[in-house]
Structure 1
Amino acid sequence: MIYRGKTGVMLFSAVFSASVFLAAGCSAEASKPSPSGNSSSGTTVSENNLPENESRGATIEILPNSPADTVREFYKRLREKRFREAIFLTNLRPAIEGLSDDELREFQVDLEAIARNVPPQIEINGEVISEGKAIVTARLPDEDQEKMEVQEIRLRRDGENWVILSVDETAEKRIKKEGANYFYALRIETHEAEAKAMLERLHKAQLAYSLQNGGAFTSIDGLIEIGYLPPDIKTSDSTGYHYSLFLTPDRKSYYASAIPAQYGKSGVMSYVLELNGTSLPVVTGRDNNGKPLR
């Protein structure tokens, strides 16, 4: 039950959910022309025989300012940590335009975690263009960052440029409405959802531990030491929350708490995990001005 979490990418894995963030794309054998018979540009190729964890450069001709060129430039800027310039190539642009450099640095932990996973070369192996829309296929790391797989990246034409569709239409409307506030609101939502999920993981880890230790529970440090919890549960840098665990003297019961590291900024809701009479977990949460619920 070794836990292999993806530290520091919670916020922007949610943001880059439409095939742009590494491993968030749709697996595909290769990009194919649409059945409508509309014209396509570029060449599609099947999966090559490279090792699962390696990638090479483009296997198709990439024209300047083409969809494939836009994708290649996006990942280049991301790897070079030119985050504002990278996001400008996506439909997240309205959310970043109003942020100052200092405000953008508040998201540095999440963005740098993504940049570390960008391969030195992006193997772009397919491009299909039809009626102002495009699909580019590329070999990118899978969700666990363990092997490469072919994924689809969707774009649309916007004047003379191509825009990578990082979010769907509903999210794009929200971005246009909220502007620079979008990332802040999304960060709170993401951290709160992850806080609840982390408490649920904590209970599963405790359950596994107790089955091997005569019904006794252990501390957060104990669960981390045996690989049942990720180390980042002890820092709010990537999680946005402070976690605490309280054991009874006989170690036969416990409760756990999660409170926002910065109330109103990294989160609003406080959460508590408690055991009912049958040792089943109950996670409750409410706005408690950043204070523990128990």
Structure 2
Amino acid sequence: MTATATRRRGWTVGKAAAWTYLLGVLFVTIFPFYWILRTALSDNYALMAEPASLLPAGFTWGPFRRVLGLATTEESIAEGGSGASVELGHFLVNSVIYATLSTALIVFFSTLAAYAFARLHWRGRDLVFSMFLTALMVPGILTLLPNFVLVKELGLLNTFAGMILPGSLFSAFNIFFLRQFMLGLSTEIEEAALLDGAGRLRVLFGITLPMTSGPVITLSILGFIGMWNDYFWPLLVTSDESVQPLTLALAVFKQSSPQAQPDWAGLMAATLVAALPMLALFMVFGKRIVNSIGFSGVK
């Protein structure tokens, strides 16, 4: 086989098209993050003069200083800022509390329900599970109003409990996901433990849960990211900054501009600071998430 033929077999039209498509998708995915960074390092006045510049317009760290509360009102206005500030640390703490507690409760109760559907035998189990699956077909927007009325009647508006409890007791996808994984596990060790006198809860937390750690961690990461980015539900049930998460603070920061336009550079800086923890989390655990989803196939 000649060298020319080898090169032709190694680099075909199909491979060229596949690589072109892959690079195109990569560009479309990464470019918005680059544009956020470019805007966050720009001066607002320079942005208006050079809106299409691919490099930071009037490079400055001012937007990050404004977001972190290190810039004075005069410095902010001098760079085209609104003069408004956002207590990033306070709202970050609120987001951590909201996302962490919500994720922990959702995963905990989903694990209990999934074990009951996968390991316990009781009358009507399959029927109840089928009813659970129908919840996957119900748009989440339809449950917002009933949940809001419930939270209001319980007097839980403007509280972490009001934000967390309505969505923490039930997740049809999490239950389905964990049940499918548990069905694929061997029951021999669990049956041996039951014969030795172990109770169901001890078997669940001592044997089944360690073997299900991969999917549990996956759901925890995905749930945390979803709660961290949640906007509409906290907007409905909170109006007090003491419990509002960072997503609401960014919206308020965007609107609190006495000048002609919002502080886009400061807003992009705040958005980047808020997104960095989630990006780092997904980069570290991305492979685990993909592997767990692939291994938990429908049975």
TM-score range, shorter chain: under 0.3
Higher strand share: 1
Q: Which has the higher helix share?
A: 2
TM-score, normalization: structure 2? 0.23
- Rg larger in structure: 2
The higher relative CO (CA closer than 8 Å, separation ≥ 6) is in: 2
Compute the TM-score of the two structures, normalised by the length of structure 1. Answer: 0.24
